[in-house]
Amino acid sequence: MEAENRDYKYFMQDTGSIYLGARLSYTEILQDEMINFKYKSIIEHYILKDTDPEPTRESQLY
């Protein structure tokens, strides 16, 4: 199962955009050193107030 999810767990950043894999959980995003502080702050202050940190971003949409 983890091998299947590896294709959907990624982080990429260019000059104007941040790309995150759909199967990253909010906990994994907050623990990743490569993800910038501003995005982590948005997750901590706005998103995690209303959601559980374990579901993936994909499951939030469905």
- The residues facing 20 across adjacent strands are 11
CA 51 to chain centre: 13
pLDDT of residue 13: 85
Domain residue spans of the chain: 2-61
Per-residue confidence (pLDDT) for residue 48, from 0 to 100: 87
Integer Cα distance of 25 and 51 in angstroms: 11
- pLDDT at residue 3, as a whole number: 63
* Per-residue pLDDT in tens (0 to 9) along the chain, 62 residues: 566 677 788 888 888 888 888 888 889 889 989 888 988 999 899 988 888 877 777 777 66
* pLDDT value of position 44: 92
DSSP string over 2-62: HHHHGGG--EEE-SS-EEE-TT-BHHHHHH-TTS-HHHHHHIIIIITTTS-SSSBHHHHH-
